[in-house]
Structure 1
Amino acid sequence: MKQGKSVPSVSEQLDLRPGQSLELLQELHILTREGRINQDSRRKLKQVYHLFQFIEPLLQELSRDGHAPTLADHGAGKSYLGFILYDLFFKALGRGQIYGIEWRAELVDKSRALAARLGFDRMAFLNLSVAASAEAVELPAQIDVVTALHACDTATDDAIAFGLQKRARALVLVPCCQAEVAACLRQGKALQLARTPLAELWRHPLHTRELGSQITNVLRCLHLEASGYQVTVTELVGWEHSMKNELIIARYTGQKKRSAAERLRAILAEFGLEQALAPRFGLEFVPD
């Protein structure tokens, strides 16, 4: 008589690491109080785990020679990413600090309470927008790693500006929706259709939205390269898990690429975006 296959344990199903806090996973509603898996939250956890695999090597490098790494997580929401990072890395390291930045006060209060309950005493939560965080006195002058997971609209741009101001050694970004470029493309559509056949790329509203998102992320990468970062773009997880799937990793080298700044300006000019966006990407707008 054949024996049936054994059912994988919760630890095996979630690919938990030794010493990982089950209490944290319950508090984040990934596990129920009975220890069962909450399938609705499992997808979110998979994204965060995958992102952790990219962030962990950066933190390991930064924590050499006794350095206490700092990380700012923008648009933190319920702070899934921050809590998992602390549990899997900062807790055992015994030094370093995570700052969760979130504009919704009720989520900040819940995260503060959870961190206190779990003894995660090197986590701080700030009730601020991403744009306002650069001037916050609660944050140090330099932050080693800046993350932004699905920070909507221009919040990813604000996180990049924050990283540049704080002289971040690395930025790890998963951009979300961005409507600004699409709006600019729509505004000059009739003129562009007459000027260049490339305007067919955004003649239809769906294409306008998708192209706007694509252009925005290309501009962000060029801006980072022009500011002294080496940039890698890859997928976060498979498309079956999230349509907002682009992962931008920028590591500071100090080598500012002039060619990146030139291409950035050329793209803005080609799509008629100079007036609206040149200052956003560190360029001066000079009217004709």
Structure 2
Amino acid sequence: MTAKERGADAAVMQELRPGQSIELLQELHILTREGKLNQDSRRKLKQVYHLFNFIEPLLQDFSAEGRSPTLADHGAGKSYLGFILYDLYFKALGRGHIYGIETRAELVERSRLLAARLGFGRMSFLNLSVAESMDAAELPAQIDVITALHACDTATDDAIAFGLQKQARAMVLVPCCQAEMAACLRRDKALQLGRTPLAELWRHPLHTRELGSQVTNVLRCLYLEAKGYQVTVTELVGWEHSMKNELIIARYTGQKKRSAAERLVALLREFGLEQSMGPRFGLGTAQPEK
């Protein structure tokens, strides 16, 4: 046991996963220098560990037979997820690579310095938007796992597009703040109220926002299924910890579902969203062949 571990609070140590670096958690300011957790940090750690529980089995499968798994984390922020994945899985594996993609240059530089200080040599941090990362020379042509934690508004859709381009074998997504759909619903509300009683679902602004978020995620799941992914939707953590709590896990099987493509198109039509939202969800390419 290291001096840092001996100094950590015993109760806190019981909340950490075996092998977790105390120094890393202190550098990420999840643990204080005294080895304690505040409530906000405990919530953050709970979310990351919960995600790790879903991602680790994917990495284990992709690591089989000596393969080197790759993972790209979009909207990485301070790279809590990437660092903890590296610390708990990639470090012991001895191969594989994590790419953190973030638009804020100061966070990218901070992550680069921390990775160098900790000796996490198979981590790269890129100061790019998702769109810019599509053609970035620093990224390989194929990436096994794509993650996007609390990606705001259309950033989740951008991460999905990136995953499709990179032939991702799995995508782990936690969408956040989907405003685009609500704006489209509000714009055409008067017309839709006269056309279908379903428009009552978004007559009030609060309902418009919540429905927009729900429908957006349903469309995302159908789109992934139409592209050959098996999709699971579950909670990230308890609702008491986060209101943005939907976790979408998509694993590539190659079985493109015709029914998913059909329902995707039907939903866009039902909500009058073909022109405004159709291109984002591959309207045209997602439609089944006649």
- Deviation at 1:142? 0.1
Runs of 4+ in 1 over 3 A off after TM superposition: none
Amino acid at match of 2:11: S
Amino acid at match of 2:195: R
> Which residue is 1:85 aligned to?
85
The CA distance in 1 between the partners of 2:136 and 2:202, in whole Å, is 39
Kindly provide the CA deviation profile for residues 82-107 of structure 1, in whole angstroms up to 9, marking residues without a partner as x. 00100010000000000000000000
Amino acid at match of 1:270: E
| Residue in structure 1 matching 2:12, options 4, 10, 13 | 10
- Deviation at 1:130? 1.5
Verify: 1:95 aligned to 2:95, yes or no: yes
Verify: 1:222 aligned to 2:193, yes or no: no
Amino acid at match of 1:193: L
> Which residue is 2:163 aligned to?
163
The alignment partner of 2:168 has SS state of coil
The alignment partner of 2:152 has SS state of coil
Q: Is the 8 A contact 1:192 1:199 kept in 2?
A: yes
- Deviation at 1:277? 1.4
- Deviation at 1:8? 4.8
- Superposed, 1:98-177 pairs within 5 Å as 98-177=98-177
The CA distance in 1 between the partners of 2:77 and 2:90, in whole Å, is 20
The CA distance in 2 between the partners of 1:9 and 1:217, in whole Å, is 38
> Which residue is 1:259 aligned to?
259
Amino acid at match of 1:223: Y
The CA distance in 2 between the partners of 1:218 and 1:17, in whole Å, is 33
- Deviation at 1:9? 2.6
> Which residue is 1:61 aligned to?
61
- Deviation at 1:31? 1.0
The alignment partner of 2:176 has SS state of coil
> Which residue is 2:205 aligned to?
205
> Which residue is 1:3 aligned to?
none
The CA distance in 1 between the partners of 2:236 and 2:37, in whole Å, is 22
The CA distance in 2 between the partners of 1:18 and 1:267, in whole Å, is 46
> Which residue is 2:3 aligned to?
none
The CA distance in 2 between the partners of 1:196 and 1:137, in whole Å, is 49
Q: Structure 2: where are the runs of 5+ without partners?
A: 1-8
> Which residue is 1:282 aligned to?
282
The alignment partner of 1:35 has SS state of coil
Amino acid at match of 1:62: F
Q: Is the 8 A contact 1:26 1:33 kept in 2?
A: yes
Q: Is the 8 A contact 1:177 1:213 kept in 2?
A: yes
The CA distance in 2 between the partners of 1:278 and 1:188, in whole Å, is 15
> Which residue is 2:243 aligned to?
243
Amino acid at match of 2:263: R
The CA distance in 2 between the partners of 1:247 and 1:36, in whole Å, is 28
Matched residue pairs, number? 278
> Which residue is 2:6 aligned to?
none
TM-score normalised per structure 2: 0.94
Q: Is the 8 A contact 1:182 1:209 kept in 2?
A: yes
Kindly provide the CA deviation profile for residues 131-182 of structure 1, in whole angstroms up to 9, marking residues without a partner as x. 2211111000000000000010100000000000000000000000111110
Amino acid at match of 1:271: F
The CA distance in 1 between the partners of 2:172 and 2:50, in whole Å, is 12
Amino acid at match of 2:197: P
Q: What is the percent sequence identity of the aligned residues?
A: 83
The CA distance in 1 between the partners of 2:198 and 2:120, in whole Å, is 53
The CA distance in 1 between the partners of 2:39 and 2:241, in whole Å, is 13
- Deviation at 1:38? 3.0
The alignment partner of 1:249 has SS state of strand
The CA distance in 2 between the partners of 1:92 and 1:70, in whole Å, is 15
The CA distance in 1 between the partners of 2:269 and 2:81, in whole Å, is 37
The alignment partner of 1:54 has SS state of helix
RMSD: 1.3
TM-score normalised per structure 1: 0.94
- Deviation at 1:19? 2.3
